[in-house]
Amino acid sequence: MHRFEYHAPTSTAEAIGLMDRYGDSARIIAGGTDLLTALKERWERPAYVIGIGAIPGLADILYEEGVGLTIGAAATVRAVQTSAAVRANYPVLAYAASTLASIQIRNLATVAGNICRASPSADMPPALIVLGAQVKLAGPDGERVVALDDFFTGPGRTVRQPNELLAEIRIPPPRPHGGAAYFKHSPRRAMDLAVVGVATALALQDGLCHNVRIALGAVATTPRRARGAEAVLEGYEPTAARLEEAARIAATECSPISDVRGSADYRREMVRVNTARALQQALESAA
């Protein structure tokens, strides 16, 4: 059995100090749904494990009118799914949370952990990206804020340094006349990773689309914005032809692989189909 030294800091500053001291030989644990599996299967063999679950305030989910939503590093996926503030102001985020694994996993897993795991098929990043989310990284040299668009660098890799803690996730206020949607395509309805994930968001002003965002999951090495598809709609009337063209272009902006769960061609077609569906649903919720 792999042995490690466990630390339970009681403040963010103490946690960062431990991370700075131990660097790559330490791992953070909050919910533990990924790390415990990695330890069991011996994919990870850290010398130190730093538990942040007892740090006051890190599990908070706070919404302020005109400011937006803040999700702490230890806030669970289930807490986001059931939060009255999230459901009222960011229903797409509550829905995306509901698609992640089982309720037992959601009761333990944290949104920050789902992000830091940097799995290309993770459920939370696409919805967070289209909502304009940022992450606050706290380290020994201070804090920095990174757009979630720029956070992922590859499978299991992010811009977070070993001595930095993803302290919170920030989401700006909902846009007036805005709508968003998330479609997860998987062979099973529960307990399955996304074969394709598509999130969309837009706002309507005088009948034209603004602030269009389309994020794709499980079809590249990182969650990816379909910027060419966004440009087809930005500033234009959302006609059926434009929606179809945006969906078509989105399918060309991904680089899926073929595996036992689906071929690359199948995934591209599912990107097209689900982008069209997600855009239509976002439009309906924005109207």
Q: What is the mean pLDDT of the chain?
A: 96
Q: How far apart are the C-alpha atoms of 203 and 196, rounded to whole Å?
A: 24
pLDDT score for 4: 96
What is the crossing angle of helices 240-252 and 264-286, to 10°? 140
> Residue 167: which of 23, 15, 27, 20 has the closest Cα?
15
pLDDT at 100 over 90: yes
For residue 144, give both structure tokens.
């920095």
Averaged pLDDT for residues 156-185? 97
Q: How far apart are the C-alpha atoms of 259 and 49, rounded to whole Å?
A: 33
Domains in the chain: ranges and CATH? 5-51 (3.30.43.10), 61-171 (3.30.465.10), 181-286 (3.30.390.50)
pLDDT at 3 over 80: yes
> pLDDT (tens digit, 9 = 90+) per residue, 211-261?
999 999 999 999 999 999 999 999 999 999 999 999 999 999 999 999 988
Are the beta carbons of 100 and 80 closer than 8 angstroms? no
- The H or E element spanning position 119 is none
- What's the whole-model pTM score? 0.96
Averaged pLDDT for residues 106-127? 96
In this structure, the chain runs to a length of 287
Q: How far apart are the C-alpha atoms of 220 and 211, rounded to whole Å?
A: 23
For residue 13, give both structure tokens.
């500053």
| DSSP per residue, 210-260 | EEEEEEEESSSSS-EE-HHHHHHHTTS---HHHHHHHHHHHHHS-----BT
Position 95 confidence tier, pLDDT thresholds 50, 70, 90: very high
Backbone angles phi, psi at 120, to 5 degrees: -60, -25
For residue 190, give both structure tokens.
């529960």
For residue 141, give both structure tokens.
């040299």
pLDDT score for 104: 95
pLDDT at 1 over 70: no
Alpha helices in the chain (DSSP H): 12-22, 35-40, 77-82, 84-89, 91-98, 103-106, 111-116, 124-130, 227-233, 240-252, 264-286
pLDDT at 97 over 90: yes
